[in-house]
Structure 1
């Protein structure tokens, strides 16, 4: 597939918005040192100070039979990069990568007509972050070259996207489940009212399977957290 075009900017509101607002060819990657209005799923703020990698890339939705599992596929590619570095990452369904119980990377996929705009926020060299987040530097004290990091990350993402495009989600399911946070544990799905169940794993389309008192429930979207012990 390949990422053929790279636009590296100092500061933007959001790399997602750049790809939404202007016409770029598929395969374009937009990177920013800082984002003024970085966001994650459901419009949540993503802290985007200098030291992290904030980038979005443009895909053609018509090339992918399945779109909903795409954040999981990209998240696994990020995990593969981290494993290569010697880290032990995990995936928090549906779009986050964690190290040592804290978020190190978030993925956001948005569809606009035939465009798939895929954003990645990756904490690399930041020295301080909110309590729920962590950077690679905060784990091992190593400052990394952001351009080299981006190049390696994109190689892993490109490889995963090629496989996803040709084979669908099926070959990814078991690999993602191996890294899935809370697997086999009792969790709360933050619905109204909240749903409590055992996280059994993923369905063939990337949805979450919860074992509840009323039977298995398939969850397409939402936030999960561990049920606190009382």
Structure 2
């Protein structure tokens, strides 16, 4: 009902009476008034008068009903400890492919190697539940597709030259814009689900907590519409996963990489290695040329450009 009321208010553009809303939606005027009051409490700028109601704000809310066609797939929260944790529970309970958990803020957002991801108001913090019909050994390809699609989307929506850093960070001018985590579960060698958690700095300013990070608004000099960005990304990713050959995921990712050819430092739980990133192989591993000329295959770790 909230979705229908908002759609009518947006389409009308002017004042519409409670009687007209009641007639169009087949409910009482009291029911309309209750839903209007709830929407106002949620932050919608709906003006009321003796003549009726009008919507006076082009909002950027992330409520499920703001995603037409995806309402049943979007799980919105004002705040969560972690969207990854919430999505894992939903995935294990059978939530369908393309489900997404969104939070305005996270109390325990995390990056790779259990680093904290600062999740203040204004950013996009969400986890996608994906169920690609692929073998578990190919699950890593979903990460590469997702990060390249995110870079494409940012470029299209903002004009900023978003680049990818191995394995799946998004950078702007060598400053971190987005981080990504993934979790996978499998059964009988086939993927059950791959959950992709994304923290994207949009209208927040992360520099106070992370001096080497940036945001879209900081780079552009003005805020942008987060929901439009997210919908574009979700549409693009769904189309890629449905129609593309995932075997080309690494090659597509290489179109946007700024890691290959750079001197890098790789940090893992076992230690630190430095060398020149010479390529990404078909398994998604980073090929690192060491000082003595040997090439080491790096499967996992944090990558820092030097």
Alpha carbons of structure 1 residues 11 and 194: separation in structure 2 relative to 1, 3 Å:
closer
Deviations 1:91-110 (A, max 9, x none): 11112000111111111110
Alpha carbons of structure 1 residues 182 and 35: separation in structure 2 relative to 1, 3 Å:
same
User: Is 1:123–2:195 an aligned residue pair?
Assistant: no
Superposed counterparts of 1:1-230, under 5 Å: 5-22=73-90, 23=93, 24-60=95-131, 63-65=133-135, 66-84=138-156, 85-113=158-186, 114-129=192-207, 130-163=210-243, 167-169=245-247, 171-191=248-268, 192-212=270-290, 213=292, 215-227=294-306
Q: CA–CA distance in 1 between the matches of 2:109 and 2:217? A: 21
Which blocks of at least 5 consecutive residues in structure 2 are unaligned? 1-68, 187-191
| Residues 265, 304 of structure 2: 8 Å contact kept | yes
Deviations 1:13-50 (A, max 9, x none): 11111122232223211111111111111221111111
Q: CA–CA distance in 2 between the matches of 1:194 and 1:54? A: 29
SS at match of 1:190: strand
| Residues 187, 196 of structure 1: 8 Å contact kept | yes
**Structure with more of its chain in helix, by fraction:** 2
| Residues 103, 134 of structure 1: 8 Å contact kept | yes
Q: CA–CA distance in 2 between the matches of 1:57 and 1:222? A: 22
Alpha carbons of structure 1 residues 198 and 148: separation in structure 2 relative to 1, 3 Å:
same
Q: CA–CA distance in 1 between the matches of 2:194 and 2:251? A: 25
Q: CA–CA distance in 1 between the matches of 2:277 and 2:148? A: 19
| Residues 26, 58 of structure 1: 8 Å contact kept | yes
What TM-score, normalized to structure 2? 0.67
Number of positions where the alignment pairs a residue of Structure 1 with one of Structure 2: 222
| Residues 124, 201 of structure 2: 8 Å contact kept | yes
SS at match of 1:32: strand
Q: What's the RMSD between the two structures over aligned residues?
A: 2.1
Larger relative contact order, structure 1 or 2 (CA cutoff 8 Å, min sep 6): 1
What TM-score, normalized to structure 1? 0.87
Deviations 1:129-188 (A, max 9, x none): 32121110000122122222211111222233234xx5223x233332232223213222
Which blocks of at least 5 consecutive residues in structure 1 are unaligned? none
Alpha carbons of structure 1 residues 123 and 217: separation in structure 2 relative to 1, 3 Å:
same
Deviations 1:37-78 (A, max 9, x none): 1111122111111100111111225x1231123222211011
Q: CA–CA distance in 2 between the matches of 1:11 and 1:190? A: 31
Alpha carbons of structure 1 residues 19 and 174: separation in structure 2 relative to 1, 3 Å:
closer
